[in-house]
Amino acid sequence: MSDRPLLGMTVEEMEDAMRARGLATFRGRQLARWIYLRRAADFEEMTDLSKDLRARLSRDLTITDVRELGRWVGSGGAATKYLVGLGDGSAVESVLMRYDYGYSICLSTQVGCAFACPFCASGAEGLHRDLTAAEIIGQWYLAQRRLDERGERISRLVYMGSGEPLDNYENVLDSMRLFHSSGGPGIGYRRMTISTVGIVPGIRRLASEDIPITLAISLHAPNDYLRNRLVPANRTYPLAEVLAAAAEYARDSGRRLTFEYAMIKDVNDHPDLARELGILLADLPCHVNLIPFNAVEECPWEPSDRQAIDTFERLLSMAGIGVTVRRSLGSDIGGACGQLRRRFGED
Ligand code: SAH
C-alpha cells in the first residue's frame, strides 16, 4: 500500500494511515512527533519503534519527497537561500532569515506566478502550478533540519516567496493549520504573515476565518494610475477595493495590517507619493515596510537612493504612519522573488 508522504499529513491523517494498516492509532502521533518535532528524515531514526515496524513502514511509506537541491549563504550569514526540489522535478526557493528575535522563513506557494508584476522574477514565465500544503511545509522542514544541527529554531513564517498565496488559498490555509496544530510543528498563527498583491475575494475569505495571521499587502503605489503599472492585478482589484477589504480584515482579526512598498528609483519614490500614501493610509491600523528594490535582470529599474528612502520614511512618519525600512537580505544570493529558480532553470 502506498500513500502520500507523511510530511504534510495532519496527526489525524497519520493515525488513519496507521489504522488502515492494522496498526495502533497512537503510532500516528508517534510518527508526527518524529517528523514535526524531531525532523526525522529516515524511519531508522525512530528508535522507539521496533526494528520490524520501522522496516515495514519504510517499505510502503515515505517521509517526504522534497529535497534540498542547493543552499547559498549570503548577507554575512543572515540569509540562507534554499533551492527545494519537488516530486515532479520542478523546484522552488525559500529563504531563511536571521533577525534579532530569531529565524524567519520566506515560503513559496506556487511554481511561478500568474500576476506578472513587471519587477518580479517569479511572474516572468507565468504560473506553472500550485504547491501542495506538503510542499509548503517541506520548505520549512529542510531549513529547520539544518538549524537543528545548531539547536536553533524557526519562529516565524512569511508567505512571501514565489507565487501568490491567495491564488492557492486552500493549500496555503491547510499548511497554516498544520503548522499551528497540536502535534504539528507548533508555530502559531500570530507568527505567520501572508503577502498578497491584493486579491479581494481572498482577503474577504481570510477575514471570515478565525485565523489571526498578519496580512501584508504589496502596495508599491498610492494611486491606481501608478499601481496599475506596478501591480497589474490592480486593474482587476483597484486600490479602493483592496483597502476596503484590508480594513475589514484588520477589524475582524484585530491585527494591524502591513503594507509593502518597494522603493524604485524615479518610479515610485517621489516625496509627493509619500504624502499621498500618508493620506491614503491615515485611517487604517497599519505599518509600512519600505523595501529597497532588488534589481532583477529583465527589468531596467534601479533601487532608490538612500536619501530618497530616508525622505519617504520621514514624510510617512510625519503623517503618523508607522514605517520601517526593511533590511535587504539576500540580494547577494539572487534575492528572493524567483531569481534563483530561474537561474537554475537556465543552466
Ligand atoms: N505574490 C505575493 C507574494 C510574493 S512577492 C505578493 O505580491 O505580495 C513578495 C514581495 O516581494 C511583494 O511585496 C513583491 O512585490 C516584492 N518583490 C518582488 N520582486 C521584488 C523586487 N525585485 N524588489 C523588491 N521587492 C520585490
49 lines ligand 1 (CB under 6 A): no
HSE, CB side, 13 Å, CA atoms: give it for residue 79. 17
290 lines ligand 1 (CB under 6 A): no
Question: Residue 201: which pLDDT band, with cuts at 50, 70 and 90?
Answer: very high
- Point out the catalytic residue in the list 113, 120, 286, 337: 337
Condensed to tens digits (0 to 9), the pLDDT of residues 105-137 reads: 999 999 999 999 999 988 888 999 999 999 999
- The pLDDT, as a whole number, for residue 328 is 67
Question: What DSSP line would sit under 149-187, residue for residue?
Answer: TTT--EEEEEE-SSS-GGGSHHHHHHHHHHHHSTTTT--
- The pLDDT, as a whole number, for residue 344 is 47
Question: Residue 297: which pLDDT band, with cuts at 50, 70 and 90?
Answer: confident
The answer, yes or no, to whether residue 269 has pLDDT greater than 70, is: yes
Global pTM value: 0.94
Going by CA atoms, what residue is nearest to atom 9 of ligand 1? 160
- The pLDDT, as a whole number, for residue 346 is 38
The answer, yes or no, to whether residue 340 has pLDDT greater than 60, is: no
Rounded Cα–Cα distance for residues 157 and 191 (Å): 6
Averaged pLDDT of the chain = 93
Condensed to tens digits (0 to 9), the pLDDT of residues 47-98 reads: 999 999 999 999 989 999 999 999 999 877 889 999 999 999 999 999 999 9
Residue 296 Cα to ligand 1 midpoint, Å, equals 12
Structural domains in the chain, sorted by start: 11-60 (1.10.150.530), 74-346 (3.20.20.70)
Question: Residue 334: which pLDDT band, with cuts at 50, 70 and 90?
Answer: low
Residue 260 Cα to ligand 1 midpoint, Å, equals 8
For 69, counting Cβ atoms within 10 Å of its Cβ (0-12 exposed, 13-18 middle, 19+ buried), the class is: middle
- The pLDDT, as a whole number, for residue 345 is 43
226 lines ligand 1 (CB under 6 A): no
Query: In which region does residue 64 sit, left (phi positive, over 0), alpha (psi from -120 to 50) or beta (all else)?
Result: beta
- The pLDDT, as a whole number, for residue 336 is 47
Condensed to tens digits (0 to 9), the pLDDT of residues 149-175 reads: 999 999 999 999 999 999 999 999 999
Rounded Cα–Cα distance for residues 113 and 334 (Å): 18
The answer, yes or no, to whether residue 333 has pLDDT greater than 90, is: no
- The pLDDT, as a whole number, for residue 329 is 64
337 lines ligand 1 (CB under 6 A): yes
